Amino acid sequence: MSRRLVLMLGGACLLALAGWGLPMVVSDYGQRLLIMGCISVILVASMGLANGFTGVFSLGQVGFVAIGAYVSGILSLSVADKAAYLPDLPAFLAGVQMGTVPATLLAGAVCAGVAVIVGLPLMRLSGHHVSVATMGFMIIVNSVIVNAESFTRGARTFTGVPTDITLPVALIWMVITLALLGRLIYSPIGLALRSVREDTIAAQAVGLSVLKTRLLAFTVGAFFAGVGGSLYGHYLGSFSAQTFFFPLMVSLIIMLVLGGMGSLSGAVVGVVVVTALSEILRNLERGMDLGFVVVPPLFGASQVVLGLLFILVMIYRPRGLLEDRELTSFGRKG
């Protein structure tokens, strides 16, 4: 048996063990953190594909997360709930009720479709123009969600989505996402993505179509953003347009950039570091009694510290903690 196969089988066994064993040893609170962490890894890694590997820094990924959550929510809401919450839904949607898995995959497909349409014009732009334009896309999505009352309940909370994302389920989705993205990134296509980032003109000169390459990354990223959004929706159960707006975008970006945009394990590292830091800071901001002095609670201080930290990273390590390396490549030479 090849070494690779052993590794894969071993990984699968470990995963099964973790999925079966973790819920027994970790507290409810810890489980929530871990589930959120897995979903965040999916979202951050999907963002990294376009933003880090092709160098087209999109601020609009959260728009796809929103589309994913709503599409999957509409598809998997029970028929009775639909009649109660979304009475104006067109007939072809009103009678549909799907399980979480097909709804999630369909949500991803819808996002990929939207990404092709949006990306065809937008992926021609570069630098900060593409960031501002994709941010515009996110705002348009938000505006449409708030106003398309018959599909989304408008500004009110969308509720009734079955909450069936348990820790093993989230883990499996995360591992599949990372495996697929890893396959793509460390293949000839991934090489094309990186060469487009490093030197657009040289990439064109050797015959790469820059637009096609960027569009591919954008579309695949959008697919996984939609999948992550759907899982997020199924985890929360109820959400609103505000759930998928600037605050979520900023926190995902902090995770992405802190970990290192050009690295898949950077997404994992970013999520772990930011989650751990936020938890520590959130406990600190409740205030404490140090014996000689009582620190008053400072709610919101954790975000301030996180933001300052991010500025420091931008100044001293703008390419993130892992830069372009993967965790698996540290032992090797070259």
Taking the least distance from each CB to other proteins, the nearer of 185 and 254 is 254
Tokens of 144: 């449409």
Handedness of CA 169, 272, 296, 294 (dihedral sign): positive
Measure CA 324 to chain center.
19
CB of 280 to other proteins, least distance (A): 17
CB of 241 to other proteins, least distance (A): 12
Q: Which of 59, 270, 34 is nearest to 174 (CA)?
A: 34
Taking the least distance from each CB to other proteins, the nearer of 169 and 267 is 267
Taking the least distance from each CB to other proteins, the nearer of 83 and 140 is 140
Taking the least distance from each CB to other proteins, the nearer of 314 and 327 is 314
Cβ atoms < 10 Å from Cβ of 326:
17
CB of 272 to other proteins, least distance (A): 20
One DSSP character per residue, 196-229 reads HHH-HHHHHHTT--HHHHHHHHHHHHHHHHHHHH
Q: Which of 96, 74, 103 is nearest to 86 (CA)?
A: 74
The residues of the shown chain that bind other proteins, judged by CB under 8 A, are: 57, 121-122, 124-129, 131-133, 136-137, 139-140, 143-144, 146-147, 200, 210-211, 246, 250, 253-254, 257, 298-301, 303-304, 306-308, 310-311, 314-315, 318
Taking the least distance from each CB to other proteins, the nearer of 149 and 164 is 149
CB of 130 to other proteins, least distance (A): 8
CB of 135 to other proteins, least distance (A): 8
Q: Which of 190, 309, 321 is nearest to 256 (CA)?
A: 321
